[in-house]
Structure 1
Amino acid sequence: MFNPSPRIECLPITPRQACWVIDDALLDPQAWIEQAAAEAGAFREAAHNAFPGPERALPTTLSNALATFFDAHLRNRLGARRTVRMHARFSLVARAPHTLAPTQRIPHVDRLALEPGQRAFASVLYLFDDPALGGTAFYRPLRPPAEMIGLLRDSAQLDGDAFTARHGIGAGYPGPSEWFDRVLAVPARYNRLIAYDGTVFHAGQIDSPLRLSADPRQGRLTVNGFFVCRMPAAA
């Protein structure tokens, strides 16, 4: 299902972290789109999720293919030793900006249950042919850690109006602000796969929300993978 001889590019995010980019990742990306379209009625939004739209668990055969590709080509590049577990889903960014919850208005990190010596990694596979629907951006926090912790806590606990009043972040998709500096933006490209450390602040770069759609054949369809990996002892 995946390109057996991928060309892999490294884009630095920080001096110690990078985004790995693979173009032409799938041999038949249209088959994955058709799979998502066939299950469109089963897409659901998850409560208290940073992702702003409906999702559907990836079928086991596709999830296994992604896991195999990650282990073969990306895990070592990300500095990990062994994959402990993973899950993946079809995802569609589809929310209007004014409906976004506070957690969806700011960059986020991937919160997975981890044990000592483990780290979370993520991948995004773009399955749409309209680059204007947006790629993925990475950010660094601009405020002291205590203030950032307060921002993240409030984004999960306050309603939209209270969150805006306290932190000055209105309804809208994430972007650079007095809280976050964008350090890398990876453009979307049909059949492009990216992988990165999930502890880096990131968000979809949604600059044209009017183009969004809940139709898997027309909208910002991605496959989002999440990997818990064991790190080398010295990490």
Structure 2
Amino acid sequence: MKDIKLNPDLRINKVKIPGTSLYVVIVDEFLLDTSSVMNFAHNIAYFNPMFSDNSFYPGIRDNMPLPYMRLLKSFFEDRIITKNNSQNDTVSSFHKCLLSLTTCQPSQLTTEQKLPHIDSFDERDYAFVHYLSGEELGGTSLYRYKPENLIQFTEEYQPILAKMFTDIKNSPEDHEGYITSSTSVFEQVLKIDAKFNRLVIYQGNLLHSANLISKESYNNDPKTGRLSIASFASIK
């Protein structure tokens, strides 16, 4: 994967998140050539079982090779952080880049997998989703927790997560499987469509969930299933 390169003609757009002053960054045609990434995904990756990465991700994962992480880090620092920060010495620390394939059937989901989630309470933490499949398999949505009118969670709101969990259990008819739209507990405030070779960047303390809209969205074949790369980083 040494030849992996940014597309010089990639397109960067910022989409405002309703109800906040925050934005999601959408990068289309991120990589110049995806063949090495797809070869790794289809022929080399060793997918580990669900929960092996200590997350509730509803599928199987493997670590991406370091050249991918280095490229993403360089892009984030040079093209995203510097445009949003007046300081030129801001650096990022990448924790994980995980090739991810959703495989869990709706009937097998735990309660934790049926509700939107956050990755962190720190607004300096960021999540990245690089889609390696098309719109038909589902993108990502951001949500508002209606009872507390919350989209972004900081440390002070940690106790509310337990209340969210209870609300889900008390409204099972509204949360039988994957969340893909507004419910009695959550309002879908922004829906981001998947697109092959599209990279999406947002703060990790925003309430979000994958939008698994098709039966093929939880297919265990990386050549036809919902394949993406999930990455996590912090800025200093």
1:71 is aligned to 2:80: no
**Which of the numbers 3, 9, 13 marks the counterpart of 2:7?**
3
Residue 83, structure 1, aligned to residue 92, structure 2: yes
Per the TM alignment, residue 69 of structure 1 is displaced from its structure 2 partner at its CA by 1.4
| TM-score between both structures, scaled by the size of structure 2 | 0.82
8 Å CA contact retained: 1:90, 1:224: yes
* Matches of 1:78 and 1:141, distance apart in 2: 27
In 2: Cα distance, 1:136 partner to 1:189 partner: 11
Q: Determine the C-alpha separation between the residues in 1 that align with 2:165 and 2:91.
A: 31
Change (3 A) 1:41 1:85: closer
Partner of 1:13: 17
Identity %: 25
Q: Which has the larger displacement, 79-88 or 101-110? A: 79-88
1:132 corresponds to: 136
**Partner SS state of residue 81, structure 2:** coil
State yes or no: 1:102 paired with 2:111.
yes
Deviation at 1:202, TM superposition (A): 0.6
Q: For structure 1, which segment, 100-109 or 143-152, has the greater mean C-alpha deviation from structure 2 after superposition? A: 143-152
Equivalent in the alignment of 2:198? 192
Q: CA deviation at 1:29?
A: 1.4
CA distance in 1, matches of 2:84, 2:188: 21
- The correspondence for 2:163, drawn from 151, 158, 166, is 151
Of 171, 176, 189, which aligns to 1:183?
189
SS of the equivalent of 2:199 reads strand
Aligned counterpart for 2:29 among listed residues 11, 19, 24? 24
RMSD, aligned α-carbons: 2.5
In the alignment, residue 143 of structure 2 is paired with which amino acid?
A: Y
Paired residue type of 1:192? R
Greater Cα offset, 194-203 or 2-11: 2-11
How far apart are 1:153 and its partner, in Å? Answer: 5.5
Query: In structure 1, what residue type is equivalent to 2:13?
Result: E
Could you tell me how far apart the structure 2 residues matched to 1:94 and 1:16 are?
34
Q: Which runs of 5+ in 1 are unaligned?
A: 156-162, 231-235
Equivalent-residue separation in structure 2 for 1:177 and 1:170 (angstroms): 8
Aligned twin of 2:151: none
The 1-side partners of 2:84 and 2:60 are apart by 28
- Structure 1 distance, partners of 2:40, 2:194, is 21
Deviations 1:52-81 (A, max 9, x none): 100101111111111111112222455594
Structure 1 residue 207: Cα displacement = 1.3
**1:208 is matched with which residue?**
214
TM-score (norm 1): 0.82
The structural deviation recorded for 1:42 is: 3.4
